[in-house]
Structure formats: structure tokens, C-alpha cells
Chains A and B, each alone.
Chain A
Amino acid sequence: MDALLFQITSGITTGFIYASLALALVMIFQSTNHINFAQGEMAMFSTYIAFTLVQAGVPFWIAFPTTLLGAFVMGFVIERFVLRPFADAPVLTIVIVFIGLLVIFNSIAGWIFGYEMQPFPSPFPHSWGTRLVSAHQLGIAVVTLSVLAAVYLFFRFTSLGLAMRAAAQNPVSSRLVGIRVGLLLAVGWGLAAAIGAVAGIMAAPIVFLEPNMMAGIMIYAFAAALLGGINNPAGAVPGGIIVGVLENLAGAYVVGTELKLTTALVMILLVLLIRPAGLFGRTLRTRV
């Protein structure tokens, strides 16, 4: 029984990581209808920035917001300079550009920081830990939940958040009432990159820091985003938690850890086949 409870709680905490990355994916999908395949690699790159800062002696709780700011700028710049020229391009082109970004981030990280696994110390004090939940797991829950709450409050109660929601929902009308849709699109990318960076920094103490660290997390974040509904930001959190728990239970009791990625593949296929809109998403109909 204890073992089962342990699997579930640790599933929930990894679920928070998936939820953050899934939220980043959903945010970009909402405003552009594109799935950002490079989201995980951008998060990995941000995590290396945080690591470099911490190595240079910067206290973690200063390095963390600095990195998020850096990630924001990175996302903003990528949208403005790399993706803007492809604004009206077909899906095929956009996906190829995303894969290009993924590959470039991965290789630059390998080039600058090397391919060795780096231990990333957990920033949370050991005293937080209990028998069931480790200090880092509790820390993940606190940090990701505060970030998610901040994102919710931002979109719900600030005028910038309102403008961003309007721009995503109806770009043409928003532009007509004076909202700078193009600029907000880039801001959205920046925010998504920052949220992804949170996921990366929280994941690094668990999976170790290396250029390919996000591959497995990314595929689970995809599953989480799809399960929660790719067009519903609020769905990303339950989606992430369900996927995290399922992953742990399947790993512990059904298929073993060797097939973790295959479990994610099966989850993605099942969601897409049985309920493509996800649990909390809207079903979209296209007019022909």
C-alpha cells in the first residue's frame, strides 16, 4: 500500500513538471494553432543558463527569475525573427521549422556545454522532506503551482492578459480595436518559453542536466497537453497529473521502466483516436 501511495505521489509531482511544459505548449497552440516541437529544447537551454549562473556563484533564487527573464527574451526573439516570416506558411513548413529549431538548440547546447551529464542540485532544503514526499518533490509542487496560479491571475485580472486572450481568440477584431496582435503573439511566445524554463529547472535535479534531457519529458508533456485538451490551458494541469500518475503506475506495475516512452506513445495515440479534443477541450468543427 505504501509503495502504491509512493508511486502516486511521485507521479503527481512529475505530473506538475509535465503540466508546466504542457501549459507552454497549449499557450502557443491557442494563439497560433501550432504545436511547438522545440518547446522542450528551449526549456533545456534555459536550464543550462540557470546552471551556469548557479555555477558562477549566483544564489539559486536570483538565478531562477533571471533565467525566466532570459527565456522570455529568447521566446520573444524566436517568434519575431524566426517564425514571423512563416506566419502564413502551411503546416508542413511550420513543423519543419520547429524541428529545425529543436535540432539547433540541441546542438548549440551540446557545443557550448558538452554532452556529459551534470548533476543539478535541488534548491529546496532537505528538512522539507517527509517519509512519502521528498523535499524536491514538495518544492516542485510549490513552485509549479505558484507559477500556474500567477499565469491564471495574469490572464484573468490584468489588461495585458485580457488583450492577449482577445488576440488569440479573434486576431482580426482585436487588431481593429487597437490591440497590437503581432507584438502580443511574441509576448505569448516569451511567456511560454519562461513557463517551459520552469519545467526544465524543476526537472533537472531528477533527470540530470544534458542536452537530451527533455526528450522523454517532452513526449509526456505532449500527452498531457492532448489529454487535457490542446485548446484549454486549464486542462494542462489535470492532464499533466493524470499522465504523471499513469506513467508511474504503468512503469511500476505493468510494462516496467524500459518502455516509458512507448507508454507515452500509446497514451498519445489513444487520446488522438478516442477523444482528439482531450478531456477538457472543445471539439472544433471546420467549415468546408
Chain B
Amino acid sequence: MTMTGYTESLTPAAAARRNFGKGRVARIGCVLAVVALACLVPFIGTSYQTLQMTFVLIYAIALLGLNILVGYNGQLSLGHGAFFGLGAYIAAIMMHHFGLPYWSTIPVVAVLCLIGGFLFGLPALRLEGHYLALATFSLALAMPQILKYPAFAQWTGGFMGLVISPVPVPAGVPLSSDQWLYFFCLALTLVMFLIGWNLMRGRTGQAIIAIRDQPTAAVSMGINLAYYKSMTFGVSAMYAGVAGALSALTAQFVSPDSFDFFLSISLLVGIVVGGIATVSGAIFGAVFIQFIPNIAEHISKSASWAVYGVALIGFMYLMPQGVVGLIRRLRGVISGAKRSAA
């Protein structure tokens, strides 16, 4: 890029500001277009396709939460499937045992998973890199066992799991149950993304990123490391829990083996494919983990695992920034070409 790229008498800073304004308008337009498209899905697609897209939204919430922890804060969790399962079970128990309405489960799950994640994050403070990966890895492996444990079976349903009644459509709304649930998840996804985006662009986000890049410098700047790290773990578990609760509502069923190690790995694959430390990457990652195993399973039972493994290594090798990184690079190439043409 040469200096002639900045034509007229604009200083670089002013040009950057103007480009930023332009970029922001384009970005907001892009988001609105995606939301508008997302609103059309249940009217165009079949009810099965609507269900699949509901799961894409659910995974997107969980992936955003995991990415806040892994991508922005640099704490590696291989066990977020456990928090996903925790959220699902809290929602299921509230509805199955106490007959509470489906919408009331979400705030309760959010608060409980925030606390649960915060508490797990406190000891995790002492663990870095590999050790944290190890602790969360064993959490993921142990979770189905804990859910099956006979002493809790009275609440968790043991091996059998719990069945939940379908989500009722409010009176006067001309939608099917699937469609209504889709919009419920879409609304929550938007709220969670807004919270996540807002969190990451402000002071808190800067502190979270500073801890990842320069922990010592961050502390000497007055950032409370212990608080921010545990809180990030809590927020991240909250996202996973809310996603889990929505998945329980959608599947109308929870069972111990749906929250196994494979789920945690899927979430990891999702953020790697979408792009580590990106907000929008969660959507690409969610599409990947929802549809690729389905397609791969036509080939062989083990093919979806194989695809996941190859994706993990291949993405790290070829595009460590995932799909979003690729898009950014392409955009850079295009705008570079435009500039040199002008």
C-alpha cells in the first residue's frame, strides 16, 4: 500500500475515521440483512429445516460464549459441553419436576450457570494452558457419569433422562410450535450477541484481551486478574448454559449421553472453524457443526469424527483465523485491488 492510496488532503487518521464510519454502516447493514434472512427461514423451509436452523442458533450462542473465554481471554476449555449439559438439565428439571413455564428457565439457567462457571473458574485461575485444558478435558469426560449417578436419578432421571413437554405457542400467534421456538431462539441469539459484542468492545473487553496478551502488564495497569478471569469463565458458562437450556426445549428431551465429550469437541471445532477471537465466527462455526456431521454420516459412522479431526488440524495449519479470517483477508485483497486501480 503506497501513500498515494490516500488521495486528497485527508490525514491518515481522518481517512481511518471515515473508513470506520463507512465500515460501520456496511456492517450494520450486513447484520440487518442476515437477521431479515433469518426471519424468513421458518416460512421458506420445512419444519425439519426450521428445527435444524434452530440448532444452528443454539450452537451459535454456545460458540460465542466459548470464544469469549478461549479466543478473547486465552483460557482453554475442552469441557464446555458440561456447562451446556448443566443448562439443559436445569431447564429440564424446572419444567419436568416443577411444571414451570419454558421461558422462566432461561434467566434461572443464566444465573445458575454464571455462578457455576465462576466457581469452576476460581480454582481454574491457578491453572494455565495445558493444565486448564486437562482439568476441563476430564470435566467433559466425567459429566455423563455424574448425570447418570443413581443418587441424583430422582432429579436427573438417571440413564433414561427427562422428557419435556413441547413449547406452547402463545394465544393469537399464527405460528406452529417449531416456528415459534425458532423465533424465541432467534430473539435470544440476538440478545446474547448484542451482550457479547457490547462486552467485548468496551473497557471490560479490553481488560479481557489484555489479560490474554500481557497478563503481567495487565495487572500492573490495575486490572483485577482473578476477578476478570473467573468472571469470563462465568459469562462463558452462562452462554453455554443458555444454549443448553434452549437445546433441551428444542429436543424436548435430555439424556446424559447427549452431553458427552463429543459435544465439547464439537464446540471446539466450531470456534476453530468460525475463527478464534471473532464474534461473527460463531455463526459460521455453528453452521459447520450442525450440518457437516449430518452430511459426513452418510459416508460412515466414524466419518464425522474424522472430518472434525482433519478440520481441527487443517484449519490450524492453513487458516488459523478460521472462516472469518479468510473473509477478512479476501476483503483486504479486494480493497487493496480497488485502491491500486484508483
CA–CA, A268 to B308, complex, Å?
A: 27
The answer to whether A103 has its CB under 8 Å from any CB of chain B is yes
Q: Which residues of B contact A265 (CB under 8 A)?
A: 135, 138-139, 141-142
In the complex, the 10 A-B pairs of residues with the closest C-beta atoms, listed nearest first: A100-B312, A104-B309, A103-B309, A107-B305, A110-B302, A91-B129, A107-B302, A100-B313, A107-B306, A265-B138
- By beta carbon, the residue of chain B nearest A112 is B302
Contact B305 A222 (CB under 8 A): no
Contact B133 A111 (CB under 8 A): no
Tell me whether B129 and A97 are in contact (CB under 8 A): no
Which residues from A are CB-within-8-Å of B276?
92
Most buried by A among B74, B135, B305: B305
Give 14 A-B contacts (CB < 8 Å), ordered by A residue.
Answer: A37-B133, A91-B129, A91-B133, A92-B129, A97-B312, A97-B313, A99-B265, A100-B313, A106-B302, A107-B303, A261-B142, A265-B141, A269-B135, A272-B135
The answer on a CB contact under 8 Å between B135 and A262 is: no
Contacts of B51 in A (CB 8 A): none
Q: A101 near B309 (CB under 8 angstroms)?
A: yes
If A96-B316, A104-B306 touch, whether A258 touches B149 (CB-CB below 8 Å) is yes
**B149 touching A272, Cβ below 8 Å:** no
> CA separation between A262 and B151, bound complex, in Å?
14
Known A91-B129, A103-B306; judge A259-B301 contact (CB<8 A). no
Query: How would residues 246 to 288 of chain A score, 1 for a CB under 8 Å from any chain B CB and 0 otherwise?
Result: 0000000000001111101100110011001000000000001
Determine the interface band of chain B, counting residues with CB < 8 A from chain A: 35 or more
Q: How many Å from the CB of A27 to the closest CB on chain B? A: 15
Interface membership of chain A positions 217-239, coded 1 if the CB is closer than 8 angstroms to chain B and 0 otherwise = 00100100010000000000000
Query: Quick one: closest B residue to A103, CB to CB?
Result: B309
A-B contacts besides A93-B316, A265-B141, 4 pairs, CB < 8 Å: A103-B305, A103-B308, A111-B303, A259-B145
Knowing A106-B305, A219-B138 are in contact, say whether A91-B145 is a contact too (CB < 8 A): no
B145 touches A260 (CB 8 A): yes
Q: Is A115 an interface residue (CB 8 A)?
A: yes
- At the interface, is chain B mostly helix, strand, loop or mixed? helix
Are B138 and A110 interface neighbours, CB within 8 A?
no
A95 to B276, CA, bound (A): 14
- Assembly CA distance A219 to B136 (angstroms): 11
Within 8 A of B (CB), among A74-123: 82, 85-86, 89, 91-93, 95-97, 99-104, 106-108, 110-111, 115
What residues of chain A lie closer than 8 Å to B70, measured between beta carbons? 92
Distance in Å: Cβ of B78 to nearest Cβ of chain A: 7
A111-B76 in contact (CB<8A): no
B263 to chain A, nearest CB (A): 13
Contact mask for chain B residues 36-70; partner A; CB cutoff 8 A; 1 contact, 0 none: 00000000000000000000000000000000001
- CB of B76 within 8 A of CB of A272, answer no
